[in-house]
Amino acid sequence: MHLQTLLQLPSMQKMRVIAGERGLNREINNIGMIESPDIASYLTAHQFLITNGYPFINTTTNPLTLIKAMHQANCAGLGFKDRRYVDHLPSDVLALADDLNFPIIVTPADELISETMRKMLTVILNSQTAELSHIVAVNQTLADLLIKDPADTTVLNKCTELIGHPLFLMDSHFRVVSASKDLPMTRSALTDFLRNQTQIDYFNLHTPTTVAYNRDQLTIMPLFSAYKENKAFVGMLNLDADNSTDQMLAQVVLNSLSFVNSRVDMLNESAFRNQSGFYLNVMDGGISNELVNKTLKARGIEPTTKFHCATILVTTHQQTLLSNRLLEQVQQLTLWFIKEHQAKVIAFSLKQQLVLLINDDQDAQHFLAALVNFIQPRLDKQARLIAGYSYSTLPLTELATIYNEAAEALALSKNSPHAITIYRPKYVKELISLIPSNEAKSFVERVLGGLVGGVSENEQLNLLNTLYGYFYYHQNIAEVAGHLAIHRNTVIYRLKKVEKMLTLNLDDPEQTQTLEMAVLLWHNRQIQK
């Protein structure tokens, strides 16, 4: 309880404040007596000391030194028995108490110090008993409420009603997601202030912190979370740091909201597993394209949207199988990073890899580089994060194709000094460049010579570019058409024409292999030109 509250009781009316009146809001929870000259060594916070003044008469205790020490220990105040050994305190002592807002109180002359202490302790103990009963009742009320699985706002309103302080709940990105009805500011304004106008490192915030916002003091406390990378926060307005009841009630609220947050963590993890299962089925061809498109629309994703596919993996020098904790850490850090920057990226897990589907309108290389730079310093020194991503961008109905590209790129990253590798058939081009130019020219003319006669140079170029796209995109007609900006029927028509002019069958693996090599050699010559 506050010292001022105690002094206002009828049984304490004979006490009078002679200095430090502005400090009457100090909390008091125990009483002591000055019995030894080294009392300063035994001071405790919120303690009120009483003396008859004798230690100051025989100079064993310096009042100035004692008051400074009591103020430093956050004691409640100092009491002098009226008209005993000290008729009045020196003016410099009173002035110091006023400067420090440290209360000095004169206790009744006609009352034994032991009786004064008994009366004060009785009041304090009764107050503490009432406070503890209230805290227990608040805890039980919140526990009963949480069993009913209410919405966040309902919990916050009830907490505010019970502890008397407006509350707001924030996610791990310092965005205010819900608030009690009496919060005197908008959620958007508060989010902007906390994220953009304070220097709080919310990713690494693990202990309570207090900031001023207009005329209010905001106390921000991290909630317990199953994953420290995905913790949430509760904010309280004008919490009294010196009021033990306020602090205990705040802890009750913190525990209750942490329980709610842990439940949210479990739901999010379940949703992530379901999402992973869906995309694994898509990749394995276990779901029809119609059902895939329907599910994507239900999730707010346009089925025609194209994606890069990226796979990320943690490697160590010592372990073949990584610990679940390390894998969960990478997963949670990745999900946090995606949400923090509101990136157009979908994530799911595949064995010990994390698979990312990066929207085509986003720079995949830039995103992955930023992600690796964010995660790598937070991992153990023995761990190395690597990533590989597809060159192609395809709709999610073609997930298997872009995943295979990403997986091949990831395999190259394991032996590369670079953390990120894009899938490119570089090794084919490098081998082609080793073929002597005269032999390459002869081979191209022998295999592709049939395309020269009877067509214009422009049509010949169209046919060759179509062939190159056909092989590059793994015989995916739709992707070739998109790359060349022509109708898929045009692609089919050109391929049929090539078969007729070269008298071959594109379904014949041996003929197709020869033709593909000739087209690659032709394309390589075009690049050199």
Residue 480 lies in a domain: yes
Spatial CB neighbours of 419, under 8 Å, sequence gap ≥ 6: 372, 376, 384, 385, 386, 387, 413
Residue 133 lies in a domain: no
420 and 444 together in one domain:
no
| Percent composition of the chain: helix, strand, coil (DSSP 3-state, to 5) | 55, 15, 30
416 and 440 together in one domain:
no
Q: Of 89, 124, 159, which residue sits at a domain end?
A: 124
209 and 320 together in one domain:
no
187 and 217 together in one domain:
yes
248 and 335 together in one domain:
no
Residue 132 lies in a domain: no
Q: Of 398, 425, 452, which residue sits at a domain end?
A: 425
162 and 259 together in one domain:
yes
Q: For residue 31, what are the domain limits?
A: 3-124
Confidence of residue 414 (pLDDT cuts 50, 70, 90): confident
Closest CA to 27 of 84, 73, 81: 73
Q: Which is higher by pLDDT, 413 or 431?
A: 413
| pLDDT for 135 | 73
pLDDT 10s digits, 76-122: 999 988 876 556 678 898 999 999 999 999 988 888 888 888 888 88
Residue 240 sits in a domain of what CATH number?
3.30.450.40
Under 8 Å between Cβ of 304 and 395: yes
Under 8 Å between Cβ of 210 and 218: yes
- Please provide the distance, in angstroms rounded to a whole number, between the alpha carbons at the two ends of the chain: 88
Sign of CA dihedral 474, 476, 477, 478: negative
| pLDDT for 320 | 52
| pLDDT for 481 | 92
174 and 118 together in one domain:
no
pTM over 0.85: no
300 and 417 together in one domain:
yes
Residue 87 lies in a domain: yes
pLDDT 10s digits, 312-363: 998 887 655 556 778 888 999 999 999 999 999 999 998 888 999 999 999 9
Domain count, the chain: 4
405 and 436 together in one domain:
no
| pLDDT for 323 | 67
Under 8 Å between Cβ of 409 and 388: yes
Residue 485 lies in a domain: yes
Highest mean pLDDT among 141-145, 267-271, 395-399: 395-399
Provide φ and ψ at 82, rounded to 5°: -65, 135
Residue 26 sits in a domain of what CATH number?
3.40.1390.20
Question: What average pLDDT score do residues 372-396 get?
Answer: 90
435 and 421 together in one domain:
no
| pLDDT for 322 | 58
229 and 183 together in one domain:
yes
Residue 274 lies in a domain: no
Spatial CB neighbours of 318, under 8 Å, sequence gap ≥ 6: 382
Closest CA to 177 of 239, 237, 233, 225: 233
Residue 449 sits in a domain of what CATH number?
1.10.10.2840
Residue 229 lies in a domain: yes
Sign of CA dihedral 488, 494, 498, 504: positive
Looking at the chain, the whole-number percentage of residues with pLDDT higher than 90 is 35
Q: Of 425, 457, 490, which residue sits at a domain end?
A: 425
Looking at the predicted structure, is the pLDDT value of residue 295 above 80?
Answer: yes
232 and 309 together in one domain:
no
Looking at the chain, the whole-number percentage of residues with pLDDT higher than 70 is 92
Residue 268 lies in a domain: no
pLDDT 10s digits, 25-74: 898 888 888 766 777 778 888 899 988 877 776 666 788 888 899 999 99
Environment class of residue 321 by beta-carbon count within 10 Å: exposed (0-12), middle (13-18) or buried (19+)?
exposed
Residue 331 sits in a domain of what CATH number?
3.30.70.270
